[in-house]
Amino acid sequence: MNPISYPSPHQLCSTLCMRGQGVVKGYAIGRAVVMGAAALEVAHYRIQPEAVDKECERLKTALVAASGELQTTAGSLPDDAPREMGALLTVHSMLLNDPMLVQQTCDLITERHYNAEWALTTQAQVLSEQFAMMEDSYLRERGADIRQAIERVLRVLSGSTVLLPQLKEVPADEALIVVARDISPADMLKLRGGRFAAFLTDLGGPTSHTAIVARSMNVPAVVGIGNLRALVRDGDVLVVDGATGAVLVNPPEFALNEYRRRQAAYADDRAELSLLRDAEAITLDGVRVRLEANIELPEEAVAALAAGADGIGLFRSEFLFMGRSTLPDEEEQFRAYASVVQTMAGRPVTIRTLDIGSDKTLDGEVAVAANPALGLRAIRYCLANPEIFSTQLRALLRASLHGKIRILIPMISHMHEVHAVRQAIETACAELDARGVPYARNYELGAMVEIPAIAIAIEPFVENLDFLSIGTNDLIQYTLAIDRGDNNVAELYDPMHPAVLRLIAHTINAGERAGKPVAVCGEMAGDVRVTRMLLGLGLTEFSMHPQQLLDVKKEVRLSHSNALRTKVASALNRAERIDLDSLVS
């Protein structure tokens, strides 16, 4: 095999362009290495009636072996593995121990005389369809867990332990790109050790394990491509654009050259941006802006620090609670919160209390409300479940001994909820006092502004709280009555709607008047296209994914805050749509 080179004329005709969902930005050019999917290659045959018992035994032995492998992997995770991996592997192992799975698969062997592999793939199909019909998108995606766990059993049944083929002809200096139907957490952990330039999967969405692990490795990834695995052969040349989700197969030389140029420009850009890591986030007219990071798991604080974040503006603590069968206890939560505080070395850490419900549910809790986004979610859920809330508050108070913690309450809509939270904190303190456990009271208390009602009637909240953080993701959803997860209305989800901008402006102005800090921690804060607009609204505190931080810092340093404020204020007064192109200073 030649190194990547000019394709022949027939290759020019065979260039294929596919598109999936880009979940980790960046470019990759390399050779495909196609991961086998045991489920696609299983032998289907009928067994003799007298062989039924033996076949059921073969199935059970494989289930036990696969479950054991998963437990062993969970027990020997590398230190830098994403935190939820252990829990995910345990869930996969539990799925394989489910007596229903064994029973129903054995029934297929007994009644239809299917061989074990065929029975298992048939049962997997039934379960996948049941998951696919679930309304909750998070649960729908969990159908992938069943499929991946069963894949492992099929591999055990086939006696195959090879994950990826060895591409002997590929020169060592050429990058390899993994192409798979889907990648289970256990396999993703194995692949982590290799030097892969990108991950491409036919299945999966932004919360799939491929996306989570690829993000933690900072390797470009595209998921949900549909049919790539069937169309690509080992050694094919692939080009991946992790931002747009485009994948080119055996592209012509001119396209390769174009992507080499983009890849180099992107690398230069990142290198140039990294020089800004220690530069101040200050506008041309001297307004100092705080740039903080959003994290979902404690170990991501390291990336926040590496990006030069001024602190953690949003730790979505619910990610500690999701994808597992038991809730984290006080001790586990304390260690998680304290580790973030210690990593951030004196910088403030904003920890949002459990924001569960609606699009984020606990395992085993199926959303039954007709309208979960308007139901018992976030602080409403916590106040209705005082045990869960108090456990979290105790962990937060204990972690406050190690540094500055800002407790952020999601989905506040009434002042009496703020009073109830203060009362709950007092109860948590009393519980710790009774046990003689040390804690600190040096926390600050703030609220998410994500329900229009509190943005409109903001004054008592500003007065009674230490800080506010605007959750634009939900604020837009509730202001415009657009389900943020519904593709059918995605076009109407408009961060630039004058009503949304006025609510943001009103909140920022109220904070300014009362001398209380106001941040934005929704996706808008990390979107460099709207940085100038937010500066124009008077925002001086942004919190975003660590990867977006330096881009935003660059934009801040090129902006003139006062000029932007004048322009944005006059457009807002006229309730005009703000033309972003006009915000050049």
Binding interface with Mg ion (CB under 5 A): 450, 471, 474
**What's the DSSP call for residue 239?**
E
How far is it, in rounded angstroms, from Cα 442 to Cα 500?
34
What tokens does 346 get?
A: 């004196």
Toward ligand PEP, which CB reaches closer, 522 or 538?
522
- For residue 316, the partner it binds in Mg ion, ligand PEP, none, with Cβ less than 5 to 8 A by kind, is ligand PEP
Cα pseudo-dihedral 450, 293, 351, 409, rounded to 10: -10
What tokens does 507 get?
A: 């909140």
- Only one residue has tokens 């086998």, namely 36
In angstroms, what is the minimal distance from the CB of 369 to ligand PEP?
17
3-state helix, strand, coil in the chain (%, to 5): 50, 15, 35
Toward ligand PEP, which CB reaches closer, 81 or 291?
291
- For residue 310, the partner it binds in Mg ion, ligand PEP, none, with Cβ less than 5 to 8 A by kind, is none
How far is it, in rounded angstroms, from Cα 99 to Cα 79?
33
In angstroms, what is the minimal distance from the CB of 555 to Mg ion?
24
Answer for which of 202, 355, 551, 555 binds ligand PEP (CB under 6 A) is 355
Toward ligand PEP, which CB reaches closer, 292 or 474?
474
- For residue 522, the partner it binds in Mg ion, ligand PEP, none, with Cβ less than 5 to 8 A by kind, is ligand PEP
In angstroms, what is the minimal distance from the CB of 448 to ligand PEP?
7
Element containing residue 564 per DSSP (H, E): helix 561-573
In angstroms, what is the minimal distance from the CB of 185 to ligand PEP?
23
Rg of the chain on CA atoms, in Å = 26
Taking CB under 6 A as the criterion, which residues in 515-544 touch ligand PEP?
521-522
Distances (CA, A) of 548 to 10, 27, 282, 526, 551: 41, 16, 17, 6, 6
**Polymer length of the chain:** 585
Query: What are the two backbone dihedrals, phi and then psi, of residue 131, each rounded to the nearest 5 degrees?
Result: -65, -40
Residue from 56, 521, 545, 560 carrying the catalytic annotation: 521
For residue 383, the SS3 value is: helix
Active site residue 209: yes
The amino acid that residue 1 corresponds to is M
- For residue 472, the partner it binds in Mg ion, ligand PEP, none, with Cβ less than 5 to 8 A by kind, is ligand PEP
- For residue 508, the partner it binds in ligand PEP, Mg ion, none, with Cβ less than 5 to 8 A by kind, is none
Q: Going residue by residue from 435 to 464, which x/- string records binding to ligand PEP, judged by CB under 6 A?
A: ---------------x--------------
In angstroms, what is the minimal distance from the CB of 379 to ligand PEP?
12
- Total of residues contacting ligand PEP (CB under 6 A): 10
Toward ligand PEP, which CB reaches closer, 210 or 472?
472
Residue from 209, 382, 545, 560 carrying the catalytic annotation: 209
In angstroms, what is the minimal distance from the CB of 474 to ligand PEP?
3
Toward ligand PEP, which CB reaches closer, 263 or 317?
317
- For residue 263, the partner it binds in Mg ion, ligand PEP, none, with Cβ less than 5 to 8 A by kind, is none
Half-sphere exposure of 544 (CA within 13 A, CB side): 22
Query: In sequence order, what are the residues at sequence separation of 6 or more whose Cβ sits closer than 8 angstroms to the Cβ of residue 246?
Result: 17, 18, 19, 22, 222, 239, 240
Toward ligand PEP, which CB reaches closer, 242 or 471?
471
DSSP 77-91: --TTS-TTHHHHHHH
Toward Mg ion, which CB reaches closer, 318 or 450?
450
**Helix spans in 219-300 (H):** 228-231, 253-274
Contact call for residues 536 and 570 (beta carbons, < 8 A):
no
Taking CB under 6 A as the criterion, which residues in 466-505 touch ligand PEP?
471-474
In angstroms, what is the minimal distance from the CB of 296 to ligand PEP?
9
How far is it, in rounded angstroms, from Cα 32 to Cα 177?
5
Question: Which residues form the interface with ligand PEP (CB under 6 A)?
Answer: 314, 316, 355, 450, 471-474, 521-522
Point out the residues that are catalytic: 209, 521
